[in-house]
Amino acid sequence: MKVAVLDIKGKETGRKVDLSDSVFAIEPNEHAIYLDVKQYLAHQRQGTHKAKERAEITGSTRKIKKQKGTGTARAGSIKSPIFKGGGRIFGPRPKDYTQKLNKNVKRLARKSALSIKSKEKQLMVVEDFNFEAPKTKEFKNVLKSLGLEDKKSLIVLGDANNNVYLSSRNLKGSEVITNSELSTYKILNAKSVVLLESALEGIESNLSK
């Protein structure tokens, strides 16, 4: 599958790159996508939620009333969950939400996501670019030229580029990552995916294994 290469002004350079059909033109596997996105979202959870139970509440241990003769239920501690300020019954505890997913399923999910973006014409290839210094204004000009100014976009670099990354950091709708950080969730969460030429080889080699 051949795709035209654009420059940072959004115009065709006259060159085309050949995208691997085994990565960018497969039949999407929706279940693999579901599993990978589910794992990604689960791993975003810290799992540090915690409520105090009756043994952890600070308070007197004095028996608050006599055992018999009150006409009401027995009560042995002010820290009992039935009293205001008492411990919580079966409250949340710290938990590890990580999930295991086979590498082949993750690769299939990412190839499926890229194929969906390619089929829906939401994927473009742009020649490599760099900034002399971090400038948000320059990065916004690039997005505007590519027609992505008001769209949620994902820019995939071949190698880490600090100037490009810092230039995009203040923009809520745009994210810059390297090809090794690519995930199914990030691909599908973006309205448009921009692949720099230097990122293509890494993506295809990682997903063609």
On the CB side of 7, CA atoms within 13 Å amount to 6
- Let me know the angle formed at the C-alpha of 58 by 53 and 59, rounded to the nearest 5 degrees: 110
153 by DSSP, 3-state: which? strand
**CA separation for the pair 112, 182 (Å, rounded):** 13
**What pTM was estimated for this model as a whole?**
0.83
Model pLDDT for residues 86-106, shown as the tens digit of each residue:
999 999 999 999 999 999 999
Q: Show the domains of the chain with their CATH numbers.
A: 2-45+100-207 (3.40.1370.10), 46-96 (no CATH)
Q: What is the pLDDT along the chain (209 residues), one digit of tens a residue?
A: 888 999 999 899 889 999 999 999 999 999 999 999 999 999 999 999 999 999 999 988 899 999 999 999 999 899 999 999 999 999 999 999 999 999 999 999 999 999 999 999 999 999 999 999 999 999 999 999 999 988 999 999 998 899 999 999 999 989 999 999 999 999 999 999 999 999 999 999 989 86
**CA separation for the pair 77, 40 (Å, rounded):** 44
Among the listed residues 8, 13, 12, 11, the one whose alpha carbon sits nearest the alpha carbon of residue 143: 8
